[in-house]
Chain A
Amino acid sequence: MQVTLKVFRYNPDVDKKWHYETYNLDVEETERILDLLELVKGHYDGSLSFRRSCAHGVCGSDAMRINGRNMLACKTLVRDVGDKITVEPLLGLKVMKDLIVDMEPFFDNYKKVLPYFINDSPLPADGKERLQSPEERARFDDTTKCILCAACTTSCPSFWGSDDYLGPAALVTAHRFIFDSRDEAASERLKIISETSGVARCHTVYNCTMACPRDIQITKAIGELKMATLTGKVD
């Protein structure tokens, strides 16, 4: 089928200002938007730049705005979006070139929530695993799926307002550890997310939940965090 692909372009080595380029392509409706970008790069303009790696929605490299919504280019097919396709970089992070944005503020926020397992108690006497029931494990299953693609955080109006807001992805990570029965640093993390840059900036707009390519119930997870910061209880 014939599609029109309109792509945001900006090369700081050449361009004073960003612009759009339009490409008319003959493609299959089952092709990924990433396949279209590869086609343009291969045959129309080699300088078109974007990040990609796994090409099937698990590495988180190619989050971008497709027809105005944050999605992974490798997990969105032509038939999902129609024959007029506009591709733009994520909002709220500085554009470095074409579809590539500066991910550092995003990862800086991630690093603020103590994004690692903390348990300084002695290991079980038999040296084996720390026991965890299937129910305890299920409690935080949803938030272990995050691939740090930034689709959620860069869809959030609070983050657009100021990137000192931790943002949904960092909060999802905090949730993953706070609700893990084996972890011992919940109170420290709750303190961090209770600060002004934390959960209070979430106004339940649900953009993050809509944007998540891993179908994580992000707004629900943030709601659970809000409750925990109010009650001081994790259950």
Chain B
Amino acid sequence: MANVHEFDVVVVGAGGSGLMAGLYASRGAKTAVISKLYPTRSHTGAAQGGISAAFGNTEEDHPEWHTYDSVKGSDYLGDQDAIEFMCNEAIDAVLELEHMGLPFDRTPEGRILQRNFGGHTNNVTGKPVRRACHAADRTGHMILQTLYQQCLKNKVNFFDEYQVLDFLVVNGKAAGVVAVELATGELHTFHAKAVIFATGGHGRVFEVTSNAYAYTGDGAAILLRRGLPLEDMEFFQFHPTGIYKLGILITEGVRGEGGVLVNGKGERFMPKYAPNVKDLASRDVVSRAIYTEIREGRGVNGQNYVYLDSRPESIIKYAAEDGRTNSDGSPYTITAEELLKKLPDIVDFNRVYLGIDPMTQMMPIQPTAHYTMGGIPTNKFGEVVIDDKNTVFPGLYAAGECACVSVHGANRLGTNSLLDLIVFGKHAGLRAAEYARQADFQKLPDDPTAEARAQFDGLRSGSGKENVFDISREMKKVMFEDVGIYRNEKGMKSAIEKIAEWKERFKHVRITDTGRVFNTELLNAWELGNMLEISDVIAECALNRKESRGGHSREDFQKRDDVNWLKHTLAWKKNGKIEIGYKPVVITKYQPKERVY
């Protein structure tokens, strides 16, 4: 067979978790990392504000506090054993990045500098704690660069610009993946003992999003088609501060440095919704507060946005009101020059896309679709599990945003995504290499690329009366409006009907580009197929969950319901329909209670 490659471990995706997995797996097994992008284009690079670890470099902090904050942030849906594991590993994970050369910002003593972030608190006083380790407002960029550089140093094998299309299963075990080489259009089979999916999220199903074009849920959709379940797909995070209309992320670090949210009447409104930590409440709380202000007519000029005020004089004024101090107890102050050093990219985005200067003008913002809490179910070692008993699928691993461990539950805390990538990427890589050392290759199917070819052939042979771009645009709009921040039965049922219609229309799409070289039209159409699958699962799971929890806010069921719904959702695709099951939440130390910020 032409184009067959053999590796012990294949990693799909080259963002933070894929590179970490590749780095660790390659130390113990012959490993390839396959990505549809050049690795440095991955969406990890867009992360801004920081990665959390309870160093306590400038004030008291403990991994136990980090654990509790994350459990509370998850609205008690996160598995507490996994969260505790992640928060305990956090300090070593961040130190490892530093030892790899990551240029963190520094304290005067030369240690890693930390800033405030939403939901991270001193558990005794309830006040915000500086836990987010950062490199200006490009922490994700520095993580991505550093890990890619270390992979080069360690001679990891990369297959750049190869889109993985299918996962091969033989005898109930992982056997490899099929990918198309974008530059030539040729299909390749990667025969492997272990496969790690690190394919990122699917925020592109929503109209206003901070997510990259690449975020189309490929990994999750591939496994769904192969009969595996997805977990907690109804939980999607809307980040409070996206640039109005464009959705481009404005880091929570702006509020960490003292910025505040202001409505159309010029009032700071977060104290009404979160009296203790105010603008530094968790993201679900802040996004709902913004929407409530807008709905009650206090948007700016009657429009769907509010302001984020980061002008130094405003920061100083509100810091004085809040009694905020530096670590030495002196009143908190900041200058435009200092702010520019801490948040250079935020200043740049405002200048380029809005033509405004955030040192003298307020930024128009609205919540933006940001992060996939749900995904491919795994245990804390990155092993994919496929039922309510956490049965492991032999040879299959997942890590990063595409995975659901679950450490984020119903709502992720800011900075915990980067931590998730490093901790679980590493363990998935270690476990996969260990598995590969004792496992045999499964025999490849006679025609391993058959399923991938069939999918492509379908896209080339439709009637041509439908257009990918139109279906995609309609999907994003409806998903954002009816399965977005606020949800109700009527809207979601209507969305589900429309998704069925789009899927039908999608069968009539025909690719006009008949060439092989960089056929991006074919790829984009295939990605839309994934997004339709994922939208269907999100909407069905969201309609099914009759409560409000974390990022899932039902207008018709406004309260959290621990009696009936303190459980994970599992969703399978069977005979064209979504089937739903459940799995218990792991609760160790922290009994669910009401969340107050």
Contact = CB atoms under 8 A, between A and B. Distances in A.
Interface of A: 11-14, 30, 38, 41-43, 45-47, 49-61, 75, 77, 96-98, 100, 103, 107, 111, 115-119, 123, 127-134, 136-137, 140-141, 144-145, 147-148, 177, 180, 182-183, 215
Main secondary structure of the interface of A (DSSP, over half): loop
B440 interface: no
Interface string B505-518: 00000011111111
Interface of B: 37-38, 40-43, 45-46, 95, 98-101, 103-112, 135-136, 138, 141-142, 145-146, 149-150, 152-153, 183, 212-214, 246, 248, 345, 348-349, 352-353, 467-470, 511-521, 524
B469 A43 contact: yes
13 contacts: A42-B469, A45-B512, A46-B513, A46-B521, A56-B46, A77-B353, A97-B515, A98-B518, A117-B101, A117-B149, A140-B103, A145-B141, A180-B103
Contacts of A130: 98-99
Which 3 A-B residue pairings sit nearest by Cβ, starting from the closest?
A117-B101, A42-B469, A13-B515
B512 A47 contact: yes
Contact of A128 (B41, B111, B516): B111
B518 A49 contact: yes
A59 B46 contact: yes
Contacts of A61: 37-38, 41
Contacts of B467: 42-43
B214 A144 contact: no
Contact of B43 (A13, A42, A54, A134): A54
Given A14-B515, A46-B468, A52-B213, A116 B149 contact: yes
Contacts of B106: 132-134, 136-137
B153 A13 contact: no
A41 B212 CA distance: 18
B26 to A, nearest CB: 14
A5 B521 CA distance: 20
Contacts of A51: 41
A3 to B, nearest CB: 18
Given A116-B152, A129-B111, A182-B101, A49 B520 contact: yes
Contacts of A46: 468, 511-513, 521
Contacts of B41: 51, 53-54, 59-61
Contacts of B511: 46
Contacts of B212: 53-55, 59
A82 B511 CA distance: 32
Contacts of B214: 53
Contact of A134 (B101, B105, B515, B520): B105
A221 B430 CA distance: 39
Nearest to B473: A42
A60 B46 CA distance: 11
Contact of B517 (A12, A55, A59, A119): A12
A118 B348 CA distance: 31
Nearest to A183: B101
A93 B596 CA distance: 56
Given A11-B515, A103-B38, A147 B95 contact: no
Contacts of B520: 41, 49-50
Nearest to A176: B103
Given A58-B141, A133-B106, A117 B100 contact: yes
